[in-house]
Amino acid sequence: MSQKVIEVINLTKQFKSYKKKPGLKGSLQSFFNRKYSIKKAVHGFNLEINKGEIIGLLGPNGAGKTTLMKMFTGIIVPTSGELTINGHSPWERKKEFKKKIALVMGQKSQLWWDIPAMDSFLLLQKFYELSNQEFKQRLDYMSELLGVVDLLHVHVRKLSLGERMKMELMASLLHNPDVIFLDEPTIGLDLVAQENIRAFILDFHKKNGTTIIITSHYMADVQALCKRLVLIFDGTKAYDGPLEKFENILGNEKTVSFTFSEEIPCCGYLDEFHGEWNEGRTSVDIRVPEENLREVGKKVLDLHPVIEFNTEKMPIERVMKTLMTNPEVLRAQRDHANLPA
């Protein structure tokens, strides 16, 4: 039986905030007569994660992903509900718990700006009570894999964003945590750096069997790393299941794009699909059910002077886009197809 690492039951977090009108008058008013409003950032959230899983936590901005991450790491205290990570209640902030987790925030640096990354690592070695041998072994492994051996002694402020992110990852993983929380680890990075980071995470996971929770707005991250997705909308769980099932949540149609060497006159076989043509009618995107892909492809190739064609690489991106602009779709789908939530 697989071992549960994270257990979340009916987790809720409310924030109390007050509105203030601009200017001195507004400040005075809000000082004497403050109107509070309660915002539910996360409510009724349930989740179970087994040891060694990599979970993609997805959702639009403000859906509650970061709030969840902060509750998981003990930074903020839940309003109600149960939460255990590796047998600990995170908000108790016990040292044994802290030594088992890591949080990497793509938008916030945890390294000290004015000193080389190596100095920060040495400090973390002491914080996490690592022996010199453990420390050296892990440092060598990670710095070589990430290709930053020569940068360890450079001041952090002089590193590029990509290089810094690699150092951030190393800093967070030196103590070999059981559970890693990655909050948008590839944000703002170029494609090569993104790929490096992904490859590193996969390698680290393979080597250590770590449980990883990752949030990202880049679907390429999710596609490359996660087998299971958890979707969060307005603080509640909207989907929890395998990646492949999520890709087909809106049906099993694939988008196929064709480009032709000449204009295709209206209205032939291709127009039956009600696809999207470009202005000169030299290229089209059509939606084809997965099982008909071969047949349709063959027919179009036979009928028209095709110079290029491809099927979409990341259906998950399309699904996410559709759901974000139209969240009701998911509710309707769920009601019909009885999808796990």
| Sites of contact with another protein (CB under 8 A) | 13, 15-17, 41, 66-67, 70, 73-77, 91, 93, 95, 98-99, 101-103, 105, 108, 110, 112, 114-115, 119-120, 122-129, 155
- Which CB, 122 or 220, lies closer to another protein? 122
Distance between CA atoms of residues 97 and 262, nearest Å: 64
- Which CB, 95 or 298, lies closer to another protein? 95
Q: How far apart are the first and last CA of the chain?
A: 23
229 burial level (CB within 10 Å; 0-12, 13-18, 19+): buried
Alpha helices (runs of H) in the chain, residue ranges in sequence order: 23-32, 65-72, 95-98, 117-127, 132-146, 161-173, 191-208, 219-225, 243-247, 293-303, 315-325, 328-337
Nearest residue to 320 (alpha-carbon basis) of 234, 256, 233, 257:
233
- Which CB, 42 or 320, lies closer to another protein? 42
- Which CB, 132 or 338, lies closer to another protein? 132
Minimum CB separation of residue 256 from another protein in Å reads: 44
- Which CB, 235 or 315, lies closer to another protein? 235
- Which CB, 123 or 341, lies closer to another protein? 123
Minimum CB separation of residue 138 from another protein in Å reads: 17
- Which CB, 95 or 331, lies closer to another protein? 95
Minimum CB separation of residue 130 from another protein in Å reads: 10
Minimum CB separation of residue 266 from another protein in Å reads: 55
Distance between CA atoms of residues 137 and 74, nearest Å: 29
Q: What is the DSSP letter of 268?
A: S
Q: What is the DSSP letter of 313?
A: S
| 3-state secondary structure (DSSP) of residue 57 | strand
Minimum CB separation of residue 137 from another protein in Å reads: 19
158 burial level (CB within 10 Å; 0-12, 13-18, 19+): exposed
> At 266, which amino acid appears?
C
CA 219 to chain centre: 8
Minimum CB separation of residue 115 from another protein in Å reads: 5
Minimum CB separation of residue 341 from another protein in Å reads: 25
> At 269, which amino acid appears?
Y
